[in-house]
A = this chain, B = another copy of it.
Amino acid sequence: MALDRALVIGILLFNNMTSLDFAGPGTYLEYLGVIGQKVEIHTIGEKVGPLQPSNLTPMYASVSMDNAPRAWDILIVPGGLGATPFVQNQELVDYVRGAAENATDVLTVCTGGRIMGATGLLDGKNATTNKMEFSKIASEYPAVNWIEHARWVVEGKYWTSSGVSAGLDLGHAYVAAKFGEEAATKIQRTLEYVANKDPSNDPFAPQLL
Contacts and interface: CB of A to CB of B under 8 A. Distances in A.
Interface of A: 11, 18-20, 22-24, 26-27, 30-31, 39, 41-43, 50-51, 54, 56-62, 110, 130-132, 162-166, 168, 189-194, 196, 203-204, 207
How many monomers of this protein are in the complex? 2
B168 A165 contact: yes
A162 to B, nearest CB: 5
A165 B193 contact: yes
A194 B190 contact: no
A31 B16 CA distance: 11
B207 A193 contact: no
Nearest to A51: B60
Nearest to A192: B163
Contacts of A162: 192
A112 B164 CA distance: 23
A131 B70 CA distance: 40
Contact of A57 (B11, B130, B189): B11
Given A41-B56, A189-B204, 18 more contacts: A19-B19, A22-B23, A27-B164, A42-B58, A43-B57, A50-B50, A50-B60, A50-B62, A51-B60, A54-B62, A58-B62, A130-B192, A164-B190, A165-B192, A165-B193, A189-B207, A192-B204, A194-B196
Contact of A164 (B18, B50, B131, B193): B193
B43 A58 contact: yes
A57 B60 CA distance: 9
A54 B62 CA distance: 10
Contacts of A61: 58
B23 A20 contact: yes
15 contacts: A11-B57, A18-B27, A19-B22, A19-B27, A20-B26, A20-B191, A23-B24, A23-B57, A26-B57, A27-B164, A50-B60, A110-B192, A132-B189, A132-B190, A165-B192
A154 to B, nearest CB: 18
A191 B163 contact: yes
